[in-house]
A and B are shown apart, each in its own frame.
Chain A
Amino acid sequence: MSYANLYEVPGPRGIRRNRVLGAAIALALLAVAYVVYVRFDEKDQWAAEKWTPLLRADVWTTFILPGLAGTLMAAVAGVVLAGVFGLVFAAARLSEHRWVRVPAGAVVEFFRAVPLLLLIFFAFFGSYVLIGVNISAFTAVVFGLTVYNGSVIAEIIRAGVLSLPRGQSEAAYAVGMRKSQVMRLVLLPQALRAMLPAVVSQFIVLLKDSALGLIVGYDELVDRGLNGIAANFSNVIPAAIVIAAIFILINLSLDRLAHWLNDRRSAGAR
């Protein structure tokens, strides 16, 4: 998207002025970056011994890769379960029966309003009293990710179904399908396709949220990568930069995927 309509196309003088301004701003930004650099340097955060550990194979195999595996395991489990949860509750909220629709709506609205961390704490610290066993940090994290993101996905899918033309379900009923068939074979597949980019964006949120696991002691990437490495080499800043880069890389790929799905869908609709 270009915003060139917000300003005149600069003439020769404008171009010159913009160049000077651009250079001045670039210098100002560089100055800020330099101040940050110097402050980090005073604390020796650029010293080689703080960065070289991040290049060592054993640091990757003991900290970063296991942490990444933990993050991805929680995320994949969360995505699958949240997807199922979302489908079930979206269908339930669209039910014709009041006694299905209203409780399903209450569940979805409740889990959307409660902070994820409270849900994880509830599952982790409350499990013994509630079900008689202590659940693992992994289970607690996946539980929280499932019910929270599942509720959001339920709303996304519901909006997708509601946006479909009424003729779709009318035609399905007209050829003799039952209610469950209409939902399963006609409405949900179309709604899912239409809402896929939004669903993928929600999966990015889910992946980022899995980092909350470190608060209940789940070994995921931020915990292993930031706390684990920094405890051994006291290099918080370098470790944080590398961990952030890994997250950004994964999330940007997912974002790219969402865009690609969207383009493919609009190409197919034409």
Chain B
Amino acid sequence: MNALLSEWSTITLAFWMTVKLAAVSAIGSLVLGTLLTAMRVAPLATLRGAAGTYVTVARNTPLTLVLLFTGLGVGANLGVELSSDIATNNFWLATIGLTVYTSAFVCEALRSGINTVPVGQAEAARSLGLGFVKTLALITLPQAFRAVIAPLGSILIALTKNTTIALVVGVSEASVRMREMIETYGDQVLQIFFGFALGFVVLCLPTGLLFGWLSRRLAVAR
């Protein structure tokens, strides 16, 4: 237990990075995912095609490759600089990679949510004279969101665990710290592993419970 206690402050810092990565990417994925969903159900074939292609590509590419591409390709090779500070720059590159990947899953979940909204809802909206954008924004999407809160929770949990892969673009979060600590305190492998594992359980378990509770509370009664 000594290693975990003596390194307590660096461990909390590492997990704070994990939380920041997850929070920023979650907001990004939610916004981009909603936009993609709207595009995928739009009356314009161009929008549907573009969003469909995006989702297929992002969903079927390993996250490791997506992050390496943002890091090595976009960052190092193209010299896209989001901040003059290397650590901050890597952080933003990682959130972009995580957002690109996760938003495809958000889009898939939301689209299945749209399927749960009865046809009559949109028809009623149209008969009131609402166009596509208003029907979607005021009637269909709010109900779709409430139907997929639980799956969105699973996506958020997966995202939190996926932040560990941000190490390939040089972000020092929990997995990096765990590797360093196993190398330094080789005799305490089990304690270190269970300590870090517990950290993720602490992050993910309340998220799952909260989203489960929200999905029951906000379920649309039909």
The interface of chain A, by Cβ under 8 A from chain B, is: 1, 3, 5-8, 10, 18, 21-22, 25-26, 29, 39-40, 43, 45, 110, 113-118, 121-122, 125-126, 128-130, 204, 208-212, 214-215, 222, 226, 230, 236-237, 240, 243-244, 247-248, 251-252, 255
Contacts and interface: CB of A to CB of B under 8 A. Distances in A.
Interface string B29-41: 0000000000011
6 contacts: A3-B40, A45-B77, A114-B161, A121-B182, A122-B189, A128-B186
B178 interface: yes
Given A3-B114, A215-B167, 5 more contacts: A25-B46, A114-B197, A115-B164, A129-B189, A214-B64
A5 B123 contact: yes
B218 interface: no
Given A10-B43, A29-B46, A129-B187, A118 B57 contact: no
A241 B208 CA distance: 35
A71 to B, nearest CB: 9
Contacts, number: 148
B17 interface: no
Contact of A248 (B56, B136, B174): B56
A40 B114 CA distance: 38
B165 A212 contact: yes
Which residue of A115, A121, A208, A230 has the most chain B CB atoms within 10 A of its CB atom? A115
B135 interface: yes
A144 to B, nearest CB: 12
Interface in B49-63: 50, 56-57, 60-63
A17 to B, nearest CB: 10
Contact of B68 (A1, A18, A121, A226): A226
A129 to B, nearest CB: 5
A40 B123 CA distance: 46
B115 A121 contact: no
Interface residues of B, number: 58
Interface of B: 40-41, 43-47, 50, 56-57, 60-65, 68-69, 72-73, 76-79, 114-115, 119, 122-123, 126, 131-132, 135-136, 140, 161-162, 164-165, 167-168, 174-175, 178-179, 182-183, 186-187, 189-190, 193, 196-197, 200-201, 204-205
A248 B182 contact: no
Nearest to B123: A5
A215 B204 CA distance: 24
A211 B189 contact: no
Given A22-B46, A236-B77, A244 B65 contact: yes
Given A3-B41, A125-B183, A113 B62 contact: no
Contact of A118 (B46, B183, B196): B196
Contact of A208 (B41, B63, B136): B63
A126 B178 contact: no
Nearest first, the 8 closest Cβ-Cβ pairs linking A and B are A126-B189, A211-B62, A3-B41, A251-B60, A7-B132, A115-B161, A211-B64, A208-B62
A118 B65 contact: no
Which residue of B114, B161, B162, B190 has the most chain A CB atoms within 10 A of its CB atom? B161
Nearest to A25: B46
Contact of A247 (B65, B122, B165): B65
